[in-house]
Structure 1
């Protein structure tokens, strides 16, 4: 009997040990299972974060893409800001931007000195006469606009910021210039407003000028050291203002040989001046030349005999841009009206 009881005790102890082992294994399994669950949850969370980051990155790229657009230029397609904020203009387009109520961060010295825009250029940085590329870089432009069509210049500028080139004589007149530049920088409405005001001013100036001149002819010439230059209806010496906006009549020779000439000017000798001289003559003597007013050729001109020769101020009539041309038309009208008061 005692032996039987002893066996029972041994069996019970063995069973208890086995149960403890099973419980330990179960506990360890629970811990392992918990660790596995935690790892899985962490991985899922990381994946969601990663996916969220990827979506955000794609969204950001889309936003950048939406903030730019591609334009066709003489140098091919160029991606530019849809709404540029820091424009640098090189050679000739400062006043065009100002006409659109856009103040660039930088412009050339010569353009900044334009007497027609002195009230508008405060805050525009000077990038020099040639091109100070380091200065342009310092200004951190998001768009550069230039009229210099030169491969080397373009290469340097385009490394700084997207660059659009409008070569000289790209536009047929300042109205087209304002419209095209306005379209480039997203200022179409400002361009329309400017043109409306411009047309109103030109109509008033035209009425005044034509009241003096009527159907008589007008010429615009430049006196150089040995030659005479005759100008057409384009960018030189106020020709656009005189012929396109005041709509005054050129001589037949100017109409046939100068207006429409790709150069928009013609060099002539003093001996044939009478062929190009109108009933009214505007003379530019800004290049060190002067007319030989003692010459019989000069004194026999109809405009000279009738005292209808006028000398515009070079600094006012050399600039070519929308603001200057508008002022030039009005100043031509003022000068013509001044003849009636003498």
Structure 2
């Protein structure tokens, strides 16, 4: 009888041991998950800075950065006035408080664990006393690298890179389709009205210019290339606008600006105007070059130039 019991006991001990090992393994996984770092070191343009690995309450004082944070599902509790005016951003920041670099007390009340500001902001040292503060200089890196940098800051570099790769592919494919339809040599201008001034843009100043000229490789008029390519934009009068008008015009239109130039013969006689090749967009939605705005711009260009 004892000979029979011994093997049975051995089997039972082995089963208990296996179950114990499985439990221990689960505990190790759980422990590893709990051991995720609370902070990371981000290599900012001013050197390394310790920031939350998963920021929960973010204050963004830079309109050219806020859309990047929104695209990565960042919880923005305080944001600049320009971002607040953008209808395209409304769903992401409807509960965010409007703040500026000067409203320090209001920012303190928001209890941020991360602050993002332009490098030109005032009170940066005081902001750093409230929460880790990272600054960016507009145009220091290209528009997609800027999004990737924000991805690194928010510990979401992989997600940012995935979107970048997909977007570039879609934009370039759309560019080939557009060139096939309008002609490879057709030119396109991007203009904007702001208060009483008109502007024309180069290839890196928002308003969809990065998509049209960098990704789609569409051509800008020689006059635009000469005057706006280096600085990114060029202010001009309505009288000389025909010199800068391409075969197609994207008009980033401020409805509150003085747009009376559109009623002049000078404007009406521009070939793009006469041929119904001017496409108007709301400038407040069209300014920037973050993923939320870029998706809108790409869709706008497809509908305007391809009809889909």
- Shorter-chain TM-score range: 0.7 to 0.9
Number of equivalences: 270
Q: Secondary structure at the match of 1:288?
A: coil
- Distance in structure 1 (CA, Å) of the matches to 2:84 and 2:269: 42
1:195-249: CA deviations, max 9, x gaps?
2332344245434433432220001112456643211122343322332233321
Q: How does 1:300-311 map to 2 (within 5 A)?
A: 300-311=269-280
Q: Quickly say closer, same or farther: Cα 1:141–1:226, change in 2 above 3 A.
A: closer
Asked whether the equivalents of residues 114 and 319 of structure 1 are also in contact (C-alpha less than 8 Å), the reply is: no
Asked whether the equivalents of residues 222 and 285 of structure 1 are also in contact (C-alpha less than 8 Å), the reply is: yes
Q: How does 1:327-342 map to 2 (within 5 A)?
A: 327-338=296-307
What is aligned with 2:147?
Answer: 178
Q: Give TM-score, length-normalised by structure 1.
A: 0.68
What is aligned with 1:258?
Answer: 228
Question: Could you say which structure has the higher strand fraction?
Answer: 2
Q: Quickly say closer, same or farther: Cα 1:220–1:179, change in 2 above 3 A.
A: same
Point out where structure 2 has 5 or more consecutive residues left out of the alignment. Answer: 1-34
**Aligned pair 1:214/2:183, yes or no?**
yes
- RMSD between aligned residues: 2.9
Asked whether the equivalents of residues 61 and 99 of structure 2 are also in contact (C-alpha less than 8 Å), the reply is: no
Asked whether the equivalents of residues 79 and 100 of structure 2 are also in contact (C-alpha less than 8 Å), the reply is: no
- Distance in structure 2 (CA, Å) of the matches to 1:293 and 1:162: 48
1:145 to 108, 116, 121: 116
Q: Give TM-score, length-normalised by structure 2.
A: 0.75
Q: Secondary structure at the match of 2:92?
A: coil
- Distance in structure 2 (CA, Å) of the matches to 1:127 and 1:256: 39
Q: How does 1:195-210 map to 2 (within 5 A)?
A: 195-210=164-179
2:210 to 232, 237, 240: 240
- Distance in structure 1 (CA, Å) of the matches to 2:235 and 2:178: 27
| 1:154 Cα deviation after fit | 0.4
**Aligned pair 1:278/2:242, yes or no?**
no
Asked whether the equivalents of residues 110 and 129 of structure 1 are also in contact (C-alpha less than 8 Å), the reply is: no
Point out where structure 1 has 5 or more consecutive residues left out of the alignment. Answer: 1-63
Q: Quickly say closer, same or farther: Cα 1:227–1:80, change in 2 above 3 A.
A: closer
Q: Quickly say closer, same or farther: Cα 1:315–1:86, change in 2 above 3 A.
A: closer
